[in-house]
Amino acid sequence: MKEQKIHSGWKNTLHEIIYEADTPLGKFFDIVLFVLIILSVILVMLESVKEVDQNFHKILLTLEWVVTIFFTLEYIARLISIKKPWKYVFSFYGIIDLVSTIPLYLSYIFAGSQVLLAVRAFRLLRIFRILKLVKFMGEASQLKAALKASRAKIAVFIYVVMILSVIMGTIMYLIESNEAGFTSIPRSIYWTIVTLTTVGYGDIAPQTNLGQFLATIIMVLGYGIIAVPTGIVTVEFSRHKNGDKTKSVVHTNTQACPSCASEGHRDDASNCYNCGELL
């Protein structure tokens, strides 16, 4: 362990700073990254507002360059400080990091591309990695576990809702034929889901008596149906809550393997569970 440290000391330090959050410098780096991600997403939003973009285009562009350069340096640092760079490049966060970095460069190659503007909003996904900082992590794990356990039931539920929507949508299309926005079956299905989920925009609304009668049935159905996912999740929550101490120990180890960048190690881990590298 000692030899290894000496071998590539600065790389290890860089790894600690960039990938982990249990040293003061690592924490500081994560906070800077957090602020820059939020800033860059706000920049994307402001650029999309015409009045703001017209008046402050230069400032926005400059700030975007600042963010992009920081992200570029960070991406390079991540590549250098890890032992198996290709594994990182093709990992989920590796791709997100690359996509977060390149839009501004690309916009000079493919001029005027609107889509690139918005791709930058995906930078927000990077925030999930910095969640390591947050003390709520244990809570998030519990939520995730409960949702995972009720996954199958929710799938069945959505499946039934889908079939119901298609059949109801088709019937509504026949009843309201071409009136009031029910111009095609897909649009009728769209309306049915809008109604069943109690969203109810009102851009499409039944006009005939029969249509309104069927609509009330769909609504009351939707009202009853909303109880199902709630029931499922509540029961799972209460199970996970009660079984806390014995079953699911929540590990809040924020270290990432210096070799393969895999995360989620046990609190008492000294070797990577994936590649065996010392942590």
Rounded to an integer, what distance in angstroms lies between the CA atom of residue 138 and that of residue 156?
A: 28
The residues, any chain, with a CB within 8 Å of residue 57's CB and separated by 6 or more, are none
**One of 21, 36, 67, 193 touching a second copy (CB under 8 A):** 193
By CB under 8 A, residue 232 contacts a second copy = yes
Minimum Å gap between C-beta 260 and a second copy is 26
Nearer to a second copy, 29 or 191 (CB): 191
**One of 183, 208, 253, 262 touching a second copy (CB under 8 A):** 183
Rounded to an integer, what distance in angstroms lies between the CA atom of residue 3 and that of residue 101?
A: 35
Q: Determine the size of the site formed for a second copy (CB under 8 A).
A: 83
By CB under 8 A, residue 173 contacts a second copy = yes
Nearer to a second copy, 69 or 140 (CB): 140
> What does the block give as tokens for 115?
């889509």
Minimum Å gap between C-beta 137 and a second copy is 9
Minimum Å gap between C-beta 97 and a second copy is 16
The residues in 152-171 that bind a second copy, with binding defined as CB under 8 A, are 152-159, 161, 163, 166-167, 170-171
By CB under 8 A, residue 45 contacts a second copy = yes
Rounded to an integer, what distance in angstroms lies between the CA atom of residue 91 and that of residue 52?
A: 36
Rounded to an integer, what distance in angstroms lies between the CA atom of residue 145 and that of residue 139?
A: 10
- At 240, the amino acid letter reads H
Q: What sign results for the dihedral spanned by CA atoms 50, 55, 61, 64?
A: negative
